[in-house]
Structure 1
């Protein structure tokens, strides 16, 4: 995955005293905008969905392996083993990708808090609140989480012994859980950004 350097942290207080105030304010506005885009931009939302899609692909292989094992014949066991290996081969990199994204989010959050603690600028602060992006994250995440719950519980309620195998039920419920968890992560991110913006720009200073 390509990686770009993050904006630097704000200069220490003893150095800011020697810098031009307008330059520091311009840097603050520019870096808050850049960090906000990386944290809550549409591209970041699509990246979250891409990670969820990779998890869904990996779980699809696992589901096919479970269904193959239920056939109880040597050829199906062979295909089941192949599908299981493919599933693990997709899920493990997806897990590392998710962990990298979570670490990156923490770095961005610390930088946002640090730059927001400098002298406030109404125009830059208003842009950093990003209410439209927060609402986009919240609404799309609620739809995704709702769809995940519907798939998960709908599958569990409608499953019938003899008509649906355990592998089919586990596969469909797993996909629903991936949708639900992805929606919860997105909604939680939107809520966390809203609370941070209130503390940073309305309720005083932030802390990392």
Structure 2
């Protein structure tokens, strides 16, 4: 998740040394293509879902541990299994949460650099390929559905739980799963909306450096 693999930001205005506008546009297009792929490519969406699955598995193990402690307090062997479930859950939740947090920070860096490169100049003919409306929909629609399902689980589970049928462990597990789905969907929606807003600016914005020393 290191930023070392990302294209660097454009050089400061005072040290830019492109020989002509064509060279600037070529470097701009190359950097934007790589940053666009790293930002909203389908593999990034699949990675987000994979991490969400890891969180869901970990939280399911937390629910199993809670249920074990809740149903078998006198049984030392069952309690031992509960501890094992809890440790295994931590093995899923902690690394997955760290990777997801690093991914969010990396996405922020990618978005900042993409904005910096795109603001250097305008190239409408070549920039049209970066709009990617189909990929944006692939991010938005499933993410919206995940948000809806997550909110429903989070609110409907405690509202419909009946004493004697659902245990506290069951309710906690389903509410936690709903929260994971909601957060995953929210990240996907934020990515799709952010890309849409950037694509609109890419088409309508006036370049900040095309006429005032963007290349020398």
Shorter-chain TM-score above 0.5: yes
Partner Cα separation in structure 1 for residue 79 and residue 146 of structure 2 = 34
Correspondence for 1:48 = 48
What is the total number of aligned residue pairs between the two structures?
A: 206
Give the C-alpha shift of residue 204 in structure 1. Answer: 3.6
Give the C-alpha shift of residue 69 in structure 1. Answer: 0.7
Partner Cα separation in structure 2 for residue 69 and residue 183 of structure 1 = 32
Q: CA RMSD in A?
A: 2.1
Partner Cα separation in structure 2 for residue 175 and residue 195 of structure 1 = 30
Partner Cα separation in structure 1 for residue 186 and residue 139 of structure 2 = 10
Correspondence for 2:24 = 24
Partner Cα separation in structure 2 for residue 3 and residue 129 of structure 1 = 24
Instruction: Extract structure 1 runs of 4+ deviating beyond 6 A.
Output: 1-4
Correspondence for 1:120 = 122
Asked whether the 8 Å contact 1:32–1:124 carries over to 2, the reply is no
Asked whether the 8 Å contact 2:136–2:195 carries over to 1, the reply is yes
Correspondence for 1:63 = 63
Q: Are 2:177 and 1:172 equivalent residues in the alignment?
A: no
- Which has the larger displacement, 186-195 or 42-51? 186-195
* Deviation string, structure 1 residues 142-178 (Cα, Å, up to 9, x no partner): 1111122233333223321101111011111211211
Partner Cα separation in structure 2 for residue 61 and residue 110 of structure 1 = 37
Partner Cα separation in structure 2 for residue 181 and residue 22 of structure 1 = 43
Q: 1:184 aligns with which of 175, 183, 186?
A: 186
Partner Cα separation in structure 1 for residue 166 and residue 67 of structure 2 = 10
Could you tell me which runs of 5 or more consecutive residues in structure 1 were left unpaired when the two chains were aligned. Answer: none
Give the C-alpha shift of residue 14 in structure 1. Answer: 4.5
Distance change in 2, residues 1:3/1:120 (3 Å): closer
Give TM-score, length-normalised by structure 2. Answer: 0.86
Correspondence for 1:79 = 81
Could you tell me which runs of 5 or more consecutive residues in structure 2 were left unpaired when the two chains were aligned. Answer: 209-216
Give TM-score, length-normalised by structure 1. Answer: 0.89
Asked whether the 8 Å contact 1:199–1:205 carries over to 2, the reply is no
SS of residue in 2 equivalent to 1:70: helix
Partner Cα separation in structure 1 for residue 115 and residue 173 of structure 2 = 41
* Deviation string, structure 1 residues 184-205 (Cα, Å, up to 9, x no partner): 1111111122222223431445
Asked whether the 8 Å contact 1:152–1:172 carries over to 2, the reply is yes
